[in-house]
A and B are shown apart, each in its own frame.
Chain A
Amino acid sequence: MIIIGEKLNGAIPLVAQAIAKRDGQCIRELAKRQADAGADFIDICASVDQGEAETLKWMIEQVESVTDVPVSIGSPSTEVLVEVYRFCNKPGLFNSTSMEKRKQIEQIFHIMKEQSGWRAIAMLCDDAGIPKSVEERLSVFDAIMEKAKAHGIDPARIYIDPMAEAAALMDPEQEDGPGISVYTKVVGAIRRKYPTIHIISAISNISYQLPARKYMNGSLAALALAYGVDSGILNPLSRELLGVIKASEALLALPTKAFEQLINAVKENRGKGNGLLKLEGFEDEEGQKALEQAATVLAMGAGADVKLPTTDRNLNGMVYAARALLGRDEDGHCLEYIKAYKHGLFGV
C-alpha cells in the first residue's frame, strides 16, 4: 500500500500548537518518524484560519529539511494548492480536488500537464455532495476521467478517493447494500476499468465516533486492499495497522490456490494456517498475529464466517469490526460491534 502519512495535520492539537508556535523541531520530528516508518508521502495540512499558504510553505520547508519523501499538500482550497506547490523541491501530491465547481479540477490538471511529476487525489463528490448510490458515484468518476483525458493526464498519476464514510453513520437501510458495500462496489468497478489508476482511502475516517478505533481501521485496510485500493492516508506510526496492511498484502499476493486454502482454514475455524509466511520487518510473534488477523478479515470478506467470541481479544476486535463493515452486524450499523466492546470482548 502506498502510504500517505497523516500525522502532520493542524486538526491534531499537538500539531496545531507546533504550527502556532512555529515549533519546527516538532514538525521535523513527526516528518522524520513517518518517513522512517515507511511513508511514501508526508501529508501536511495547516487547518488555520488565516495565512494557510504561508503556514504550508513553512511546513514544507520543515519536512524537506529532514527527508526526501515527497510532500502531499492538504488543503480544501485550490487557490492555496496552486500557490503552495511551487515551494516544494520535489514533485508531490495535491490533496485534493473533486468535481465540486469551486475546486476547479481543470486548474489542477493543467498544472499536472506542465509539471509531469505532480499527482493528485480526486474525491468522488460534486456540488451535490457525496453521491449515495454506486451508479452516481461512478458517474462522478467518469466525469473526472474525462477531464483528465482532455488534459492528457495518465490515470497512473491520479489517486481516486471513493469516499469511505464513517461506519458509525452508515444507514442500515441504504440502497446498494449494507455496510461498506457502496464503497467496495465503486472500488471494484474502478479497478476493473483502470488497472493502473491509484485508489486511495483515508483509513482513519471509518472509525469516527467509534470505540477501539484501531480494529475498524485495520479491518477496513485489509478489506480495501482486497477490493483494489492501493493507497491509504493513515498513521504509519501504528505498528498494528502497518502489520495488518503488510500481512494483507502478503496474503493477497499468494497464488490463488494457496489463498483459497488459507480462506478454507479460516472457514473451518482453524484461524492460522499461514505459518509458512513471514512478515518482513516484524518480529515473529507480531508478524504471525498480524497475518492471522489479516487472514481472518480477508476470509470474511470472501464470505467466511467466524465463530465469536474467540479467545484472542485483538482478533475479536477485528472480526466484530469486519462484521460491521461487511454489513453482517444483525442489529445494523455497528450496534453489535459496540455491544461486544461494552461487554469487554475487545478494547481496553
Chain B
Amino acid sequence: MSKIQRIADAVEMGTAKQVAVLVMKALNEGCDPTEILNRGMVDAMGVVGEKYRSNEIFVPEMLAAARAMKKGVEILRPYLATGKSASAGKMILGTVAGDLHDIGKNLVGMMIESVGFEVIDLGIDVPIEKFIKAVEANPDAILVGCSALLTTTKRSLRETVVALNSQPFRSRIKIMVGGAPITQAFADEIGADGYSENAAEAAELAKRLAGLV
C-alpha cells in the first residue's frame, strides 16, 4: 500500500494521531505536500462524505475524519508553498442575524474545509453588513454560505441573501444556504445559487459552485 493511501485510510478511519504520524513520515520520505493534501486527505474526505450521504456512516465518524484531516493539514501547512496554494477557494460562512445556532454551520464549515476550501467563519447572529464587509475585505472569496435554523430566522436569511444580491460584487460570488427549515424551493425563491440538505452535500455543492467538478 502506498504512503498516500495509508494516509487516506487513516483519515477515513478518523484516527488523528495516526494521520499526523503518517503525514510526517511521508514528508520525510520526500512525498509532494500537495499530493499528500489532495490525494491523501481531500480525496479521502470525498469518500467519507459519500459514505455519509449513503447512510453508511454517522455524523461522529464524519467529524472524526474531518478532525483527523485537520491534524494532518496542521503538519502539512508549513510545507505547502504559499505561491501555489492548494486552496480550492475562499468561503465566507455564517449563521444569519437573530439566529444563534452554530452546530450545523460548524459541521458545514469543517466539511467544506476538508474538501480544500479556506473558510472564514463569521460565527452566529451575523448582521447583513458583516457579510457584505467580509466579502469586500476578501476579494478572493468565491463563496458565501448562510445558515438559518429557525422558521423565524428564515426571514433574516431572505433579507441577507437579497442584500447580497444587490451588491456590486455579486457576480464574483456564489451564495449557498442551508438549515433545518430551508428547502431548495426557498433557496430559489430568495435568489441563492445553491442549497444543500446536510454538511456532506454542502461540500459537494461548494465544489460544484466553484466550478471544480
Which positions in A face B, CB cutoff 8 Å? 10-11, 47-49, 52, 76-77, 100, 102, 125, 127, 129-130, 165-166, 168-169, 172, 209-211, 331-335, 338
Q: Is the CB of A102 within 8 A of B98?
A: yes
- How many residues on B have C-beta within 8 angstroms of the other chain's C-beta atoms? 24
Is A76 a contact of B103 with CB atoms below 8 Å? no
Q: Is the CB of A169 within 8 A of B103?
A: yes
Closest to A101 in B: B125
Q: Apart from A10-B151, A102-B98, what 8 extra A-B contacts exist at CB < 8 Å?
A: A49-B151, A52-B151, A76-B150, A129-B123, A129-B124, A169-B60, A169-B107, A331-B64
Number of residue pairs A-B, CB distance < 8 angstroms? 59
Question: Which of A11, A52, A129, A210 touches B60 (beta carbons < 8 Å)?
Answer: A210
Q: Shortest beta-carbon distance, B10 to chain A, in Å?
A: 13
Interface of A is mostly: loop
Q: A47-B151, A169-B103 are in contact. Are A335 and B98 (CB under 8 A)?
A: no
| 7 A–B pairs (Cβ distance < 8 Å), ordered by A | A48-B151, A129-B102, A168-B59, A169-B107, A209-B60, A211-B58, A333-B64
Q: How far is the CA of A209 from the CA of B98 in the complex (A)?
A: 25
User: Is there contact, CB below 8 Å, between A335 and B150?
Assistant: no
- Cα distance, A338 to B52, chains bound together (Å): 13
Q: Are A332 and B58 in contact (CB under 8 A)?
A: no
Nearest Cβ in chain A — how far from B161, in angstroms? 16
A338–B151 touching, CB < 8 Å:
no
- Contact yes or no, A209 B58, CB < 8 A: yes
Q: CA–CA, A211 to B151, complex, Å?
A: 26
Give the one of B57, B63, B150 with max A CB within 10 A: B63
Nearest chain-B residue to A341 (Cβ)? Answer: B58
Q: Residue on B with the closest CB to A46?
A: B151
Give the complex CA separation of A129 and B94 in angstroms: 13
Assess whether B107 is in contact with A335, with CB atoms less than 8 Å apart. Answer: no
CB of B100 within 8 Å of the partner chain: yes
- Report B's interface with A, CB cutoff 8 A: 14, 57-61, 63-64, 67, 98, 100, 102-103, 106-107, 123-125, 150-152, 154, 180-181
B152 x A52 contact (CB < 8 A): yes
Residues of chain A with a CB closer than 8 A to B103's CB:
165-166, 169
Please, how many angstroms separate the alpha-carbon atoms of A47 and B59 in the complex? 25
Contact status A125-B100, CB under 8 Å: yes
A165 to B57 alpha-carbon distance, docked (Å): 20
Q: Is the CB of A100 within 8 A of B100?
A: yes
A210 CB contacts on chain B under 8 angstroms: 58-60
| Cα–Cα, bound, A47→B181 (Å) | 9
- Contact check: which of A77, A130, A169 meets B152 at CB < 8 Å? A77
B98/A338 in contact, CB under 8 A = no
Residues of A within 8 A of B154 (CB): 49
Verify A76–B64 contact, CB threshold 8 A: no
Say yes or no: B100 contacts A338, CB within 8 Å. Answer: no
Residues of A within 8 A of B14 (CB): 331, 335
| A65 → chain B closest CB, angstroms | 26
Assembly CA distance A23 to B181 (angstroms): 22
B59: nearest residue on chain A (CB-CB)? Answer: A209
**In the complex, what residues of B have CB within 8 A of residue A332's CB?**
64
Q: Is the CB of A338 within 8 A of B61?
A: yes
User: Contact: B100 with A335, CB < 8 Å?
Assistant: no
Shortest Cβ gap from B169 to chain A (Å): 28
Which of B61, B125, B152 interacts with A335 by CB under 8 Å? B61
Instruction: Determine the distance from Cα of A210 to Cα of B14 in the docked complex, in whole angstroms.
Output: 17
**Residue of chain B at shortest CB distance from A329:** B60
Residues in A neighbouring B60, C-beta threshold 8 A: 168-169, 209-210, 333-335, 338
- Bound: A10/B150 CA distance, A: 12
Q: Which residues of B contact A169 (CB under 8 A)?
A: 59-60, 63, 103, 106-107
Chain A residue at minimal CB-CB distance from B98: A102
CB distance from B77 to the nearest CB of A (A): 19
A16 CB, min distance to chain B CBs, angstroms: 10
Q: Is A338 within 8 A of B125, CB to CB?
A: no
- Chain A contacts of B107 at CB under 8 A? 169
Is the Cβ of B59 less than 8 Å from the Cβ of A11? no
User: Of A48, A77, A129, A335, which contacts B64 at CB under 8 A?
Assistant: A335
**A52 to B100 Cα, complex, angstroms:** 20
Max chain A Cβ within 10 angstroms of own Cβ: one of B60, B125, B151, B180: B60
Closest-CB distance, A214 to chain B (whole angstroms): 16
Tell me, in angstroms, the Cα distance from A102 to B150 when the chains sit together. 15
Enumerate chain A residues within 8 angstroms of B57, measured Cβ to Cβ: 338
Bound-state CA distance A49–B153 (Å) is 9
What CA separation (Å) do A332 and B100 show in the bound complex? 26
CB pair B100–A168 under 8 Å, yes or no, is no
Q: How far is the CA of A168 from the CA of B60 in the complex (A)?
A: 5
